Amino acid sequence: MSREQLAVQRARRAFQTGRTKRLEFRIDQLKSLLRFISERRSNIADAVKRDMAKSENGTELFEMLGVEGEINMAVENLAQWAAPRPVEKNLLTVTDEVYIQPEPLGVVLIIGAWNYPWAVTLQPLVGAIAAGNAAVIKPSEVSAHSAKLMEELLPQYLDKDLYPVVTGGVPETQELLQQRFDHIFYTGSSTVGKLVMGAAARHLTPVTLEMGGKSPCYIDKKSDIPVACRRITWGKFVNCGQTCIAPDYILCEPSIQDRVVEEIRRSIKEFYTDDPKAFEDYGRIVNQQHFERVMALMEGSTVAVGGESDASQCYIAPTVLTDVTRESKVMKEEIFGPLLPIVPVSGVEEAVRFINEGEKPLVVYVFSNDNKLIKRMIADTSSGALLANDCLVHFTVTALPFGGVGNSGMGCYHGRHTFDRLSHLRSCLIKQLKMEGVNRMRYPPHTAKKLSWARFLLLRRTNVSSVRRAVTVAMLVALAAFTVQRFLRRR
């Protein structure tokens, strides 16, 4: 039996013991995960630094804070999330118990990507634990130091059997995908997403696919261009552009292109100094292969800012490309690196058309002071999310479901959404073996009279609570009338 098979088997057996059913157990595990983060902060930051030259504070800010927030939220709200959820009744179920009972799915496979190696694996894990599942965690082999550390340290804090970490590359992931899971939670490219979904289909396993794509960013010429460009510069160049929700390219009218370039140049200098290469908050491309891929995307475009590189360090400067068209090489795939192309368009109409001609993105960004224009962008385009007048920060609003649509993903998570995604929402209806008379209308023979009763009881949209109130009032009135009658008779 392979290492991967063994891990899945162990996780399934552990799940079958039923120990994850107890909420106290789940909370214990979540608290241990929190302890892991606080005790191993420096080990984690060190691993990420070695993977991508990220600064310690950067890792804290962009990865661990989010995970900690998710854990705290799950611990605080678990009792409420896991409780039965009463639902609206119809006339036929007024006296019954009708509710949704969330229950664990079983064994979840979490396949992570390398760009935020801790966040994209631990955040789904929080939801998997909270929902009472076992989870096999497969970190990306590309962020090798983080993967190794996760494999080494996580079992020291979490139940070893329920939450094993399996490291390895494509063969190991494919071996895992041969196994039967109850849910697969995948973060990565759309190309591999299709393979994951194909493998899942063999076992009818549901999937969540958190993928990427080309997220556009429209700047209205009447917006506050310096502020817009500052926020875009931050969203684009953080983590060296290797962020799934980074603005991929800018759409704006040709008349403001030069101003946009100048404002971005100014913000790059403000954030990363004149020498980003030597500045600790500007990282590196994850490896040589991605370095070459990103460099090749620049071919044929005009470099307006940056463009410098150093292959020996996988360094590419924050770069702005101008007068880019749909045919340019850089527009053919998700950039996932520090290149920011500007595509001139005649106005919002053309921007909408341009966006709609491509695959549905993970995010549409729009910068404008005109609320009507923003609402129009919402109405006329489709994407996982829309964020107006800022970048990335919708990620921090845990009440908002985070995920893509179409080519950018399926399913969503964060906060309670992860809990629901990794639970089975079981419908429960508890009737009594009483009031058999009511059921006659559904038993043969099916007469017209019975049918009209069924029509009334099933189709009539009645507010059951107001019916209940009316029935109670009627009963009280009847009781009062009866009492008054008896009182009068005695006299």
Question: Cβ closer to ligand NAD: 127 or 132?
Answer: 127
Q: Rule CB under 6 A: choose which of 63, 161, 248, 334 binds ligand NAD.
A: 334
Dihedral, 23, 26, 30, 33 alpha carbons, nearest 10:
160
Is 138 an interacting residue with respect to ligand NAD (CB under 6 A)?
A: yes
List the catalytic residue out of 244, 252, 314, 391.
Answer: 244
Q: Rule CB under 6 A: choose which of 63, 70, 210, 263 binds ligand NAD.
A: 210
Answer yes or no: 280 catalytic: no
List the catalytic residue out of 4, 63, 70, 210.
Answer: 210
Question: Using CB under 6 A as the criterion, what x/- string covers residues 66-105 for binding ligand NAD?
Answer: ----------------------------------------
Task: Say whether 280 sits in a helix, a strand or coil.
Answer: coil
Residue 124, preceding bond cis, omega within 30 degrees?
A: no
Question: Using CB under 6 A as the criterion, what x/- string covers residues 236-275 for binding ligand NAD?
Answer: --------x-------------------------------
Dihedral, 114, 117, 123, 129 alpha carbons, nearest 10:
100
Query: Which of the ranges 11-19, 58-66, 206-214, 455-463 carries the binding residues for ligand NAD, by CB under 6 A?
Result: 206-214
Question: Using CB under 6 A as the criterion, what x/- string covers residues 380-419 for binding ligand NAD?
Answer: ------------------------x----x----------
Q: Rule CB under 6 A: choose which of 187, 322, 381, 407 binds ligand NAD.
A: 187
- DSSP sequence for 420-487: HHTEEEEEEEE--S--HHHHGGGSSS--HHHHHHHHHHHH----HHHHHHHHHHHHHHHHHHHHHHHH
Q: How far apart are CA 39 and CA 286, in angstroms?
A: 26
Question: Cβ closer to ligand NAD: 102 or 384?
Answer: 384
DSSP-assigned letter for residue 355: H
Strands (E), 17-89: 85-86
Question: Cβ closer to ligand NAD: 210 or 220?
Answer: 210
Distances from the Cα of 365 to the Cαs of 19, 216, 246, 325, 358, in angstroms?
Answer: 44, 6, 10, 19, 15
Measured over the CA atoms of residue 276, residue 277, residue 281 and residue 287, the dihedral's sign is positive
Residues known to be catalytic: 210, 244
Residues that bind ligand NAD (CB under 6 A): 111-115, 120, 138, 140-142, 169-170, 173-174, 187-189, 192, 195, 210-212, 244, 334, 336, 362, 404, 409
